[in-house]
Each structure stands twice: as C-alpha cells, then as structure tokens.
Amino acid sequence: MTNTKVCFIILSLFLLTGCWDQHLLKNTRLIYGMAFDLDAENKIEETIVIRSIPINPDTGMANEVVSAVGDTINDTRKLINEKISGEYGGSKNQVVLLGSELAKIDIYPFLDNFYREPLSPLSAKLGVVQGKAGDIISLKEKDQNLIAEYLTELIRNGEEKRILPIQSIQTICTHMFDEGKDFGLPLLQFDPKNRAVEIQGLALFDGKKYTENFLTPDQSSIMMLLSGEAKSGTEFTYKVNEENKENWVYNYVSFQVLKAKVKKTISSTSSNDFSVQLGLDLAIEIDEYPKDHLFDEAYAKELKTKIKKQMGEDAEEVISLLQEANSDVFGYGRDLLAYHSKQLQGNKLEKGYFKKLDIQSKIEVTIEQAGVIY
C-alpha cells in the first residue's frame, strides 16, 4: 500500500504546472552604455546606446543612440521606451557616465534605480565627464570599437595601470553612506574636434557630491600608494637633472614600483584634534635612465635621494588637494570612529574633519633593480 502511494505521488508530479520568470531577448532592446546630464531647466537628460543587430550579418554590429528628458530616471526611461522598438533592457549595461554639473549636486538619486532593480548591472563602470556626458555616448564608435566597449576598456586600462581605483556601481554604494570614507571616480574629457576621449584624472567626492576637484593621473597613482590600494606596478617619470641642455632625455628617469608598504599612526592631543603620521616605503626598479652609472653606489644614492625628494613633495601636494576637497579617500574617518571615538565630541565625526587633520607624510625609496644594463 505504501509503495502504491509513493508511485502515485511521483506520477502526479509530472502533471503539476511550474512557473518561472522569463525575459525574452527578442522583445528587449539591450542598452550597453548610458549617460545622465542636467539640461538648462534642471531636468534629467538620459542618453543611451543600444546594440543593433543588422539584417545582413556581413555588415557587423552597429549602435543606435536615443535620448530623452524627464524629471526622474524612471520618467526618462518611460519616454525612451516610447522611442524604441522594444522594451528598455539595461541588464547588459557596461558603463554609466555622469555629467559634471549633475555629479555636483548628489549622485545617489540618479543611481537609486540601479540598486532597486533585480536585473541591474551593478558591475558597470562609472565615470564623471568634464562637461556633457551624452556627447561621449553619442560618438557611437571609437577606434573601430563600439563606444560602450571602448569606454569600459579605457577605464579598466586605467585601473590596471594604477591610475584609477577599481570602482563600480556596487562598490561606491557603501561609500556614499559611509561618513568615514569617500571615493573617487574616473574623470573623462571629450575633445569634440578630434572626437577623442581621455582620462583627465580622478574626480574627488565628498559624500555623494563631486567636489569639482580632481587628481591628475600621476597624483592619483601617488594617492593609491599612500592609501595602500596600489602595491606594485605604478610607473613614474621624474626630471632629476638640469645638466644636459643639448639632449634633455638624459635629465629624466623612469621607474616602476615593485613593492609598497604603508605605515600609519593616528594620535590625538585633545578632543577633535588629531594628527596622522603616514609612512610609505617603496622598492623600485629603474626602467629608463640614459645617464646610467648606477653601478656606482654614490650615483645610485644620489638618484635615490632625488626621487625620494620629488615623491615626498608630490605626496604633500596630493594630501593638500584631498584636504582642500574634504575627500577622505584614505578612510581615516573610519579609524577615528573605531579607535579614537572617546576623543570625538559626542562620539561622532565633526563636519569637515578631514580638512582639520594634521597629516605628515614620509617616503623612503630603495632601488632594488636597475635593469640588465647599468
């Protein structure tokens, strides 16, 4: 009797209906890149690039650019849906660009929809554009690449070269609501005359707002070394001599960082008065130095001293720029809350605390490798 019941139950399973969510690609227009700007009336202008599959496969892929102006992100998408021959599909989006004017007010409302939609591409790259972001998306193609792929690879290349921190829509979410740590995003510049896009540097944020301050690529690399985000692979070129007027190349040295070690000590002298001792030990490899003679210990020591001096000056400038922007990309606010809360008034961070920190940096340099030929 028991076996009969079991067989009946198993056979009944084949008659049960199932349900599932399905999103048919044939009904969807896939967006691969998007940009948000503020128009003259302070409305949101969204520009998207859609991957179009041509009827003739020999012609290859193409891009279609569509834009709309609305009061909210959902409003603009509703209007875009009325302009395209399918449902708006953002699950394959690779990059989101924010115009500088829009980024200055508060970027969270423009990203809120991404965090609520289950199919949102949270791994998509983010960037701030000096000027109008939609102008870059409207390029459609760049260097025989579709614009979304080009922008994604441009930002990833900057991350690999240690001039940009690795960021995405997902990673900045916690930083936007973290009172003890800020973040930076790639700052892109568009040259309409040459139809060129380049990385201008790192846009600095204070909370959820772009401060209009930025670090150049070299300054961003130094910031990443000081914060401990970059451990190796960072490259620099410094002018270390003035001697050769005829061939100026002899006056320069190029090197890359092999190892970087950060030491940090935070101390307090009184309530809400803190100082940071920041040490950075670098082991470097000389990649290019036509003047040579590095086999001579005195020459090598002189070069090391010059590199150390210039890097120290650059580090001080970077710290000054960060404090001017009140952008705590180092996350010192977290350390204050975790280890020095008793010295904070009301156990809370004071507004503009990062500007008031006394940050002293010290850099040590060791030349570990000088190439095959010295």
Please tell me whether residues 221 and 182 are part of one structural domain: no
The tens-digit pLDDT sequence of the chain (374 residues) is 577 777 777 777 666 666 665 666 666 788 899 999 999 999 999 999 997 766 566 655 667 899 999 999 999 999 999 998 878 888 889 999 999 999 999 999 999 999 998 888 999 999 999 999 999 999 876 666 788 999 999 999 999 999 999 999 999 999 999 999 999 999 999 988 888 899 999 999 999 999 999 999 999 999 999 999 999 999 999 998 887 677 888 899 999 999 999 999 999 877 778 999 999 999 999 999 887 777 778 888 999 999 999 999 999 999 999 999 999 999 999 999 999 988 898 889 999 999 999 999 999 999 998 776 65
Please tell me whether residues 210 and 239 are part of one structural domain: no
Please tell me whether residues 110 and 167 are part of one structural domain: yes
Please tell me whether residues 40 and 107 are part of one structural domain: yes
In order of 25, 132, 136, the CA distances from 104 in angstroms are 36, 13, 19
Please tell me whether residues 203 and 266 are part of one structural domain: no
Residue (of 272, 292, 299) closest to 354 by Cα position: 272
pLDDT of residue 73: 93
Q: Token digits for 74?
A: 């959902």
Residue (of 130, 148, 111) closest to 212 by Cα position: 130
Q: For helices 108-116 and 169-176, give the axis angle rounded to 10 degrees.
A: 120
**Which residue do the tokens 């579709």 mark?**
146
Please tell me whether residues 127 and 205 are part of one structural domain: yes
pLDDT of residue 1: 54
pLDDT of residue 142: 64
pLDDT of residue 90: 83
pLDDT of residue 166: 96
Residue 244: φ, ψ to 5°? -90, 105
Please tell me whether residues 165 and 300 are part of one structural domain: no
Q: What is the DSSP letter of 222?
A: H
Beta-sheet pairing, 141-142 with 87-89: unpaired
The residue out of 165, 188, 215 marking a domain boundary is: 215
Beta-sheet pairing, 358-369 with 273-288: parallel
Please tell me whether residues 205 and 74 are part of one structural domain: yes
The residue out of 182, 215, 248 marking a domain boundary is: 215
Please tell me whether residues 121 and 246 are part of one structural domain: no
Residue 239 covered by a domain:
yes
Please tell me whether residues 44 and 173 are part of one structural domain: yes
Residue 7 covered by a domain:
no
Domain that holds residue 143: 25-215
Q: Distance between CA 206 and CA 324 in Å, rounded?
A: 11
Residue 19 covered by a domain:
no
pLDDT of residue 194: 85
CATH number for 353? 3.30.300.210
Q: How many domains does the chain have?
A: 2
The residue out of 215, 232, 266 marking a domain boundary is: 215
Please tell me whether residues 267 and 341 are part of one structural domain: yes
In order of 2, 5, 113, 114, 269, the CA distances from 11 in angstroms are 14, 10, 45, 44, 77
Q: Strand order in 358-369's β-sheet?
A: 235-239, 252-270, 273-288, 358-369
pLDDT of residue 366: 94
In order of 129, 175, 237, the CA distances from 105 in angstroms are 14, 16, 36
**Which residue do the tokens 């707002």 mark?**
209
